[in-house]
Every structure is written in C-alpha cells, then in structure tokens.
Structure 1
Amino acid sequence: MSRFEPMRRWVKRLVLGLMMVPLVWPLRLMGEPTESDRPPYQVTPIGRVRVIDGRPHLDIDPRYQPALLGLESGARIWVLYWLDRNDAPEPRSRLQVHPRGNPANPLQGVFATRAPLRPNPIGLSQCRILAIEGASITVDRLDAWNETPILDIKPVLADE
C-alpha cells in the first residue's frame, strides 16, 4: 500500500458523496501523471573533482565541454556536487544535528545548517576560476573530496 492510499480513499469517498465536508484536496486531472506513472529521478554527474597538489580541479566529462563556453578565468561560479560519501539511508534519515558535530552547539534542523548529512546530500561551493584547459577547470577552493561527483556549474550573478 502506498503512503498516498489513505488520502486517495478519502477523496474517493468525498467525491462519491459519502462524506459531507467541503473539498479541500485538489483532485488529479484526467490524464495527469501520478507519482507511479513518473519515471524515477536520475541524476547524472557532469564530471568529478580532482585534487592535484592541493589544488581543486573540476574535470568535466568531454561531452559537456561545449557547455563551458562563456566561462573564463577570474569568473566566480557555483559548483553543485553530490556528497557521495554520506549517501546512505542512515545519514539521509538524520534530520537534526549539532552544528559542526559539536554536542555543545544546540540541536538544529539540517536545513538550518551546512551539515553534510542531509535527505539529499547535495553540496554547494562558490569559487573563482583560475584556469580553464579543455574540459578541466582549476578553481581557487572547493569544499569537496577528490573524486566527488559534480552535478552542475552555474555562474555567480552580480548581486549574489
């Protein structure tokens, strides 16, 4: 039984007039896909972090090299990456943490912290491009491990 089954039954009884309460739950339109109709989400990394002599590099898959057009040395970028070393059911289910892992810090919800233990372990770093050579971008800093999968790169806008 799916987690939505009780709600579906309630809506069905409501629609059939078996319940005399106002409709507050939006009904699915005819032909609209349901959760079970949707394909599972799939995220494909565009590259990997490489740390060479202490300097982080974004090694982008060559098929994505055309997407680097317009990026240049000195530009600031956001790098989104998958915290793959924290990707397990137990860390994903942890919703509250002591910031910086220090029990002296008050307990916080993970969305109020930068903790790597999250429901979707996505990391985000802002960095400056030092050099671009082919499909490799050298950056000034990156809060990620060697071999971390890179999900996306976005430019930092002037007002950020």
Structure 2
Amino acid sequence: MTVSHFTLKPVGAVRSGRDEPIDDGWDAIPAHIELDDNQFGPEALFGLDGFSHAEVIFLFDRVAEEKIERGARHPRGNKDWPLIGIFAQRGKNRPNRLGHTICRILKVDGLTLYLEGLDAIDGTPVLDIKPVMSGFLPRGEVSEPDWSLELMAGYWS
C-alpha cells in the first residue's frame, strides 16, 4: 500500500533570537528547543546529554505553498551558481518543507535542549530529535561541488 499523505505532530518548538530566515551567521544565534509538555516529561531527553551532537528535523512552516520549488533553481537565486534540482540543494522551499541540521548539544535542562548551530528561526515546529552516532555518519569520503562550498562559506559564522 502506498501512503498518499500523513500528519505529523511537532514534538516541540525552536526558541531563538532570530525570527527572520536570513541565510548566514547561524552559529552566532543562541537557540534551544522546548519540548511540548503536553506530550513529554523530562525523561524524554534523558541520556541525550551524553552525546556531543543531535540531529534536529523541523518544518519550514513559514514557506508559502506558492513558493515551493519542484524543479530546479539557482541556489539563493545566484546566477553565478548552476541551475540545480531542489533535491540537490538544501533550500527551505522544498516540497515537504523539511529542514534537518546536526547541532552541538550544549546542555539539557528539563524539557529544554540547548544547542549551537541550529539554523531554524524562533517558533519553528520541531518534528524529531535524534542523537548523532558515528555509525550513522557517512562511510567513506564525502564530495560536493564547488558552488556548495561557496554557498556555505559564511553560513555558520
């Protein structure tokens, strides 16, 4: 059977000093995730502080349906970079509007997870949190085109 659609319930929300989807400088923005206390108690985060990093899956909830890209575009609208299919880039205007970032865990406090490097704006719905385990990281060398290295040059700093 093929699933035609499904519903996700956020597990929490991002709290951040940034409320605009600006492309660069994400490491300078303090951020944390507050779990939904109607669904979870503090035990949901037990043991996560034993890991250095977490994967955060979130929803780009402020991307309007008419802005969704299903074909190709120049990353960030930069004509100096090649025309790239939406599945060959990490832009927010994705068909299902899913974002995914690996973040450094700073601390866990009750229902709050403090992170560095979370590139999601204040109020963003968080769909899932997973610990980063070395066994799930890429095996072998990772390669990428030059345009993606240029795009990321100021993303975190």
Give the TM-score of the pair, scaled to structure 2: 0.71
Structure 1 unmatched runs, 5+: 1-32
What SS does the aligned partner of 1:64 have? coil
1:59 is aligned to 34
Which amino acid is 1:95 matched to? G
CA distance in 2, matches of 1:114, 1:93: 11
Where does structure 1 differ by over 3 angstroms across 4 or more consecutive aligned residues? none
Instruction: Quote the offset at 1:64 in angstroms.
Output: 2.2
Compute the RMSD of aligned alpha carbons.
Answer: 2.1
Give the aligned length.
Answer: 124
Instruction: Quote the offset at 1:77 in angstroms.
Output: 0.6
Match of 2:47 among 32, 53, 70: 70
Which amino acid is 1:100 matched to? R
What percentage of aligned pairs have identical amino acids?
39
1:112 is aligned to 88
Residues 77-106 of structure 1: CA deviation (Å, up to 9, x unaligned):
1000000111x3222244211112212211
CA distance in 1, matches of 2:31, 2:114: 6
CA distance in 1, matches of 2:114, 2:50: 9
Q: Is the 8 A contact 2:11 2:35 kept in 1?
A: yes
1:99 is aligned to 75
Instruction: Quote the offset at 1:52 in angstroms.
Output: 4.9
Structure 2 unmatched runs, 5+: 19-28, 138-157
Give the TM-score of the pair, scaled to structure 1: 0.69
Residues 32-60 of structure 1: CA deviation (Å, up to 9, x unaligned):
x676xx8x511100110001594101111
Closer, same or farther in 2 for the Cα pair 1:79/1:34, shift >3 Å?
Answer: closer
CA distance in 1, matches of 2:78, 2:108: 39
Which amino acid is 2:131 matched to? P
Query: Are 2:2 and 1:43 aligned?
Result: no
